Amino acid sequence: MVLIGDVVVALEVFTGKFLCDLDACKGECCIDGVAGAPVEEEELERLEKILPAVWDDLSPEAQAVIEKQGVCYKDRDGELVTSIVNGKDCVFTCYDEKGYCFCAIEKAYRAGKIDFYKPVSCHLYPIRVSDHGPYKALNYHKWNICHAAVILGRKENMPVYKFLKEPLIRKFGQAWYAELETVAEELAFE
């Protein structure tokens, strides 16, 4: 582990390789799980605000869940997470003509309809952030559905932290990310 500011970074964030391979997984990370994606308290209001822009891309089942319980709920650990459909699918999933799953929020963002990319926990995946008192911890979450992303990451020599440069800067800032890069160089993780 490496401490950068008040963030403890697991070594696998430097040494692990990852590059999403949508052709292999078809967006399975948004539709397979036991809880929704973690949501920060300040993101809840943004999710509610952008809902009209994504509503028509959501399935009727997702719309019904949102109408009943809202865009988020507290999971068994008391954490705020996106609402889910049928005990697994994020309510913000949508599909293309090939059956690939996409985030309706990200789709609307890329189309210029909204200014919110998606919950930062989704943007940071496969990194998971956890709170430990005054510190945050970054861990590389490994999941069998992302095996193809690991293979592609190895093939392209893409470290996890480089793959996630944009969301890491979004979450922790440019100066923090620059320090992360310096640490990677100093520890010969480059």
Shared domain for 40 and 108, answered yes or no, is: yes
Q: What is the C-alpha separation between 101 and 92, in angstroms, rounded?
A: 10
Closest of 78, 99, 108 to residue 30, by C-alpha: 99
Task: Give the mean model confidence (pLDDT) for residues 107-117.
Answer: 93
Closest of 19, 37, 144, 143 to residue 93, by C-alpha: 37
Shared domain for 189 and 130, answered yes or no, is: yes
With respect to residue 24, please indicate whether it lies within any of the assigned structural domains.
no
pLDDT above 70: residue 153: yes
Position 176, amino acid: W
With respect to residue 102, please indicate whether it lies within any of the assigned structural domains.
yes
Shared domain for 84 and 159, answered yes or no, is: no
Task: Give the mean model confidence (pLDDT) for residues 55-65.
Answer: 95
Task: Give the mean model confidence (pLDDT) for residues 159-188.
Answer: 93
pLDDT of res. 145: 74
Shared domain for 43 and 110, answered yes or no, is: yes
Domain of 48, in residue numbers: 30-114
Angle, nearest 10°, between helix axes 174-186 and 165-172?
Answer: 120
Q: What is the C-alpha separation between 157 and 78, in angstroms, rounded?
A: 37
Total domain count, the chain = 2
Shared domain for 131 and 106, answered yes or no, is: no
With respect to residue 142, please indicate whether it lies within any of the assigned structural domains.
yes
Quick check: 105 and 54 in contact, CB under 8 A?
yes
Task: Give the mean model confidence (pLDDT) for residues 66-82.
Answer: 91
Shared domain for 35 and 9, answered yes or no, is: no
Shared domain for 137 and 179, answered yes or no, is: yes
Other beta carbons less than 10 A from residue 99's beta carbon: 8
Q: What is the C-alpha separation between 100 and 165, in angstroms, rounded?
A: 24
Q: What is the C-alpha separation between 55 and 57, in angstroms, rounded?
A: 5
With respect to residue 25, please indicate whether it lies within any of the assigned structural domains.
no
Quick check: 64 and 105 in contact, CB under 8 A?
no
Shared domain for 62 and 106, answered yes or no, is: yes
pLDDT above 60: residue 190: no
pLDDT of res. 33: 65
Which of the listed residues 114, 134, 160 is the one where a domain comes to its end? Answer: 114
With respect to residue 38, please indicate whether it lies within any of the assigned structural domains.
yes
Task: Give the mean model confidence (pLDDT) for residues 147-173.
Answer: 92
Shared domain for 35 and 109, answered yes or no, is: yes
Which of the listed residues 114, 140, 165 is the one where a domain comes to its end? Answer: 114
Shared domain for 158 and 95, answered yes or no, is: no
